[in-house]
């Protein structure tokens, strides 16, 4: 059992006497894994005050010192990667074969990238002024950041916020999701081990109500939100009404385009991992697979076999490919999508069933659909791959590009081809934040990550991520 207080403020876990508790349960067994306090306004006030108190001195440390601190944090997380991966498998149901990389190495990788980027970032630069003098352009920390995190890859998303925010000299109040707060106990210990000063990173536990208190708190200068598009829209509206800085990393319905010359085996292996990683609960899952009509049956047969061959079961077993969904509501939602897809005329080629026993399992599914169907338009957030045929005519794959871009989302994409240059030129036509060529690596630790359209506003990751956490000031002489 892991028990965490409602908040972590200035280096200590604290709950006010009135804080309520919530249980964190295993999506595999239903057993209680721990209890966590729910932060109310007292805890949120205290966490924001601690972040405000630490802002001045942290903002004045040198970029080299801030980079070194982020490097130490990456090391501290890496040293505890097995423990963190076990926790993610327990509370999220991430297959243990995936969670070391997907939940921990990715988080440490982002922080390590900022350890390198921060010392060289141009926090101050000068240029000639129009009147013949000079202009000093300063990049100042935006201030106290309210950082709201989803449950699916919590440490990684926290790292995408802590890296650029701390690099910029901001201080942070994190709010984990109620389904997956336990790993944050270890994260806070790692922050102490990394000798990041008290008050620079604080945390409040709880659900939507605590999140609202944080985003609406007058002491917060910027909200960095990752989660669903529906909640992101609400938070952006609330920040807009306060002229509060806000960035949003939201949902996706990303397309993988298979060009007619793509290798069958490599592409199918890559695609299955690209859709089914973390039980299909990834914002960047490549859930729409666009297949050339000339090779449609060949690919659908191979994909159906590969999806049906995935091992579903206890995520702690290292041979498991697919664990449970996060909770009962998530399973009901995925099943509802599949039911409506069938009613719309889609074919479920494999999967979508409920295995016997406890846990919120759905067997991985492959659905043949068209791009106008709900299953091709909405984020399912479960182990469901949708295949869609496009007309390929010689070298003309423009219909694939049109279908890929026909989405309200624009997070990521992938293109598969024997000709890497051709794939890269198709990649450049996609209206998305990042595109992988012949792989599912849609995120580079030192590069910007974020979405076009309703996948969000702003970027985290890379030097570009720092700009979301600074205010520019021009001093003109
Ligand atoms: P969610 O939107 O339900 O919740 C996200 C966080 O917001 C949680 O901490 C939640 O407690 C909090 N929250 C909920 N209502 C709030 C409110 N009114 N005010 C303030 N905070 C509030 O999302 P989720 O179910 O936790 O995560 C899944 C979603 O996250 C998916 O849509 C997925 O695509 C998205 N996601 C996006 C990225 C990305 O980088 N684009 C990464 C991971 C997940």
Cα separation, 447 vs 344, in Å, equals 39
Q: Taking the CA atoms of 409, 414, 416 and 422 in sequence, report the sign of the dihedral they define.
A: positive
Give 370-385 pLDDT, tens digit per residue: 999 999 999 999 999 9
pLDDT of residue 395: 81
Outline which parts of the chain fall under CATH 3.40.605.10: 1-249+454-474
Confidence of residue 410 (pLDDT cuts 50, 70, 90): very high
Give 422-449 pLDDT, tens digit per residue: 999 999 999 999 999 999 999 999 999 9
Give 311-358 pLDDT, tens digit per residue: 999 999 999 999 999 999 999 999 999 999 999 999 999 999 999 999
pLDDT of residue 394: 76
CATH number of the domain at 253-435, out of 3.40.50.720, 3.40.47.10, 3.40.309.10, 3.10.20.340? Answer: 3.40.309.10
Q: CB of 409 closer than 6 A to ligand 1?
A: no
Give the ligand 1 atom nearest the CA of 449. 40
Residue 197 pLDDT more than 90?
yes
Percent of the chain with pLDDT over 70: 100
Alpha-helical regions (H) of 127-261: 154-168, 183-193, 208-215, 229-241
pLDDT of residue 136: 98
C-alpha pair distances (Å), 117 with each of 68, 141, 187, 197, 372: 11, 16, 22, 21, 43
pLDDT of residue 17: 72
Q: Taking the CA atoms of 393, 397, 398 and 403 in sequence, report the sign of the dihedral they define.
A: positive
pLDDT of residue 164: 98
Q: Best substitution site from 228, 254, 278, 280 to test ligand 1's pocket, by max atoms within 8 Å of Cβ?
A: 228
Q: What angle do CA 98, 99, 100 make, to 5 degrees?
A: 100
Outline which parts of the chain fall under CATH 3.40.309.10: 253-435
CA of 427 to the centre of ligand 1 (A): 28
Q: CB of 215 closer than 6 A to ligand 1?
A: yes
Known catalytic residues are 249, 283
Give 48-88 pLDDT, tens digit per residue: 999 999 999 999 999 999 999 999 999 999 999 999 999 99
Residue 15 pLDDT more than 90?
no
Name residues whose C-beta falls within 8 Å of residue 454's C-beta, 6 or more positions apart in sequence. 229, 250, 251, 408, 409, 410
User: Reduced to 3 states, what is the DSSP secondary structure of residue 101?
Assistant: helix
What residue owns the CA closest to ligand 1's atom 13?
208
Confidence of residue 421 (pLDDT cuts 50, 70, 90): very high
Cα separation, 420 vs 426, in Å, equals 10
Confidence of residue 16 (pLDDT cuts 50, 70, 90): confident
Cα separation, 175 vs 215, in Å, equals 10
What residue owns the CA closest to ligand 1's atom 23?
227
Cα separation, 69 vs 114, in Å, equals 10
Cα separation, 172 vs 59, in Å, equals 12
Among 74, 64, 66, 193, which residue's Cα sits nearest to residue 469?
66
Cα separation, 383 vs 281, in Å, equals 7
Structure tokens at 182: 């336990």
Q: CB of 152 closer than 6 A to ligand 1?
A: yes
Q: Do residues 451 and 252 touch, judged by C-beta distance below 8 A?
A: yes
Give the pLDDT mean for 21-35: 97
Cα separation, 11 vs 188, in Å, equals 8
| Number of helices (H), then strands (E), in the chain | 16, 23
**Backbone torsions φ then ψ of 108, nearest 5 degrees:** -65, -35
Rg (CA), the chain: 23
Structure tokens at 448: 């910007």
Q: Which DSSP category does 234 fall into?
A: H
Residue 18 pLDDT more than 90?
no
Domain 1-249+454-474 has CATH 3.20.20.80: no
Give 243-291 pLDDT, tens digit per residue: 999 999 999 999 999 999 999 999 999 999 999 999 999 999 999 999 9
Q: CB of 280 closer than 6 A to ligand 1?
A: no
Cα separation, 158 vs 163, in Å, equals 8
pLDDT of residue 50: 98
Give the ligand 1 atom nearest the CA of 455. 41
Cα separation, 269 vs 271, in Å, equals 6
Structure tokens at 232: 């992101």
Residue 19 pLDDT more than 90?
no
Q: CB of 251 closer than 6 A to ligand 1?
A: yes
Q: Best substitution site from 102, 150, 235 to test ligand 1's pocket, by max atoms within 8 Å of Cβ?
A: 150
CB atoms within 10 A of CB 30: 12
pLDDT of residue 393: 85
Strand extents, DSSP E, 308-445: 347-350, 365-368, 384-390, 409-410, 412-416, 434-437
Q: Taking the CA atoms of 444, 450, 452 and 455 in sequence, report the sign of the dihedral they define.
A: positive
């Amino acid at each position: 059992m892991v028990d965490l207080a409602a908040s972590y403020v200035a280096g200590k876990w604290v709950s006010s006497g009135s804080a309520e508790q919530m249980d964190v349960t295993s999506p595999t067994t239903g057993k209680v894994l721990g209890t966590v306090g729910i932060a109310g306004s007292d805890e949120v006030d205290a966490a924001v005050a601690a972040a405000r108190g630490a802002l001045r001195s942290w903002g004045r440390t040198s970029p080299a010192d801030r980079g070194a601190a982020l490097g130490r944090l990456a090391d501290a997380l890496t040293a505890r990667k097995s423990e963190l991966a076990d926790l993610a498998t327990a509370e999220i149901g991430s297959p243990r074969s995936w969670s070391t990389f997907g939940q921990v190495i990715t988080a440490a990788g982002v922080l390590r990238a900022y350890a390198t980027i921060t010392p060289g970032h141009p926090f101050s630069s000068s240029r000639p002024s129009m009147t013949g003098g000079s202009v000093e352009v300063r990049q100042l920390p935006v201030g106290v950041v309210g950082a709201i995190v989803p449950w699916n890859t919590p440490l990684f998303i926290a790292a995408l916020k802590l890296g650029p925010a701390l690099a910029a000299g901001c201080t942070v109040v994190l709010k984990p999701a109620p389904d997956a707060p336990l790993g944050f106990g270890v994260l806070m210990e790692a922050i102490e081990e990394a000798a990041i000063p008290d008050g620079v990173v604080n945390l409040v536990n709880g659900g939507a109500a605590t999140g609202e208190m944080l985003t609406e708190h007058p002491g917060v200068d910027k909200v960095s939100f990752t989660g669903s598009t529906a909640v992101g829209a609400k938070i952006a509206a609330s920040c807009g009404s306060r002229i509060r800085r806000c960035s949003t990393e939201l949902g996706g319905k990303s397309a993988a385009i298979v060009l007619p010359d793509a290798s069958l085996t490599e592409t199918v292996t890559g695609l299955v991992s690209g859709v089914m990683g973390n039980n299909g609960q990834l914002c960047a899952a490549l859930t729409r697979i666009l297949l050339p009509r000339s090779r449609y049956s060949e690919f659908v047969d191979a994909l159906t076999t590969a999806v049906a061959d995935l091992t579903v079961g206890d995520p702690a077993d290292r041979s498991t490919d697919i664990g449970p969904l996060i909770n009962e509501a998530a399973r009901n939602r995925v099943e509802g999508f599949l039911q409506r897809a069938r009613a719309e005329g889609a074919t479920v080629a494999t999967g979508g069933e409920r295995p016997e026993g406890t846990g919120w399992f759905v067997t991985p599914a492959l659905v043949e659909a068209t791009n106008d169907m709900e299953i091709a338009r909405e984020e399912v957030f479960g182990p469901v791959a949708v295949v869609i045929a496009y007309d390929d005519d010689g070298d003309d794959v423009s219909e694939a590009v049109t279908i890929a871009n026909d989405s309200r989302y624009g997070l990521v994409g992938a293109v598969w081809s024997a000709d890497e240059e051709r794939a890269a030129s198709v990649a450049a036509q996609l209206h998305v934040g990042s595109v992988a060529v012949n792989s599912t690596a849609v995120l580079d630790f030192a590069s910007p990550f974020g979405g076009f359209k309703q996948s969000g506003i702003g970027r985290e990751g890379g030097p570009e991520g720092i700009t979301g956490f600074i205010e520019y000031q021009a001093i003109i002489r």
